Amino acid sequence: MDPKTYRKWYHDLLEREGVPFWPEAAWRDAIFGVIVVVIVVLIAWFIGPPELGKPPDPTLLNAYPRPDWYFLWYFAALALLPPGVEDYVIIGGPLLLGLLLFGLPLANRGERHPARRPWAVGWTIGVVLLVGTLTVAGQISSWSPNFQAPPLSTEVVNSTDPKIVHGAELFHSKGCQACHAISGNGGQRGPDLTSVGSKRTRDYLTIRIANGGNNMPAFASSMTPDEMNDLVDFLMSRKGTQAGP
């Protein structure tokens, strides 16, 4: 349909066999809309809303906010963006999307067959792939600490030295494992420490754990000197081949 001749074609068709939408046909939509609103109000009045989740618990210290599944792609997009542009995307993204939706009818040329609309098909496939990929990334969320990581097994620790075993326990209890993985066990927010003992010196590890840095918190005030030594002993024992690709 050519947009230039559409209006004349529509009025000719309307005069021959149709009725105008307003007001002859619009009243049916209005009545149906009222019925839907009344049903929603009755359901809310007699049944009530579903439970959104557990009530707030101030004893939980590990914050792990995650959106519902249909917003995981947006959650991933904001997490992967550079911090300096996040505010602009949050504010300007919906505005640009709204302008795009308003502008789409202006670019319509009446074509309906997908073979004659390659750009529309391409954009649709691209958006679906982008949202799907970001949804998977949001589900994995490697940028978030893994607070559900179980303690390292005896096979991974691979030592009977009491100091190294205690250091492995501290690696989990102090929260190191939430951000760092060893042999695939732990979070992915920080560097993999599977073979950190062959890459860093003892002094370097002690200073970094005590002072933090690069989004890593400082642990000097939350660990005793003996605990620090045991944890560093454990990390220095990690001299195997780093897991992963």
- Whether the full predicted model's pTM is greater than 0.85, yes or no, is no
| Contacts (Cβ under 8 Å, ≥6 apart) of 221 | none
pLDDT, greater one: 186 or 54: 186
Read off the pLDDT of each residue in 39-50 and give the average, rounded to a whole number: 90
Read off the pLDDT of each residue in 142-163 and give the average, rounded to a whole number: 89
- Express each pLDDT in 118-128 by its tens digit: 888 998 999 99
- Express each pLDDT in 186-203 by its tens digit: 988 889 999 999 999 999
Please tell me the predicted confidence (pLDDT) of residue 112: 75
Angle, CA of 149, 216 and 171, to the nearest 5°: 40
pLDDT higher than 60, residue 49: yes
**Farthest CA pair distance, the chain:** 93
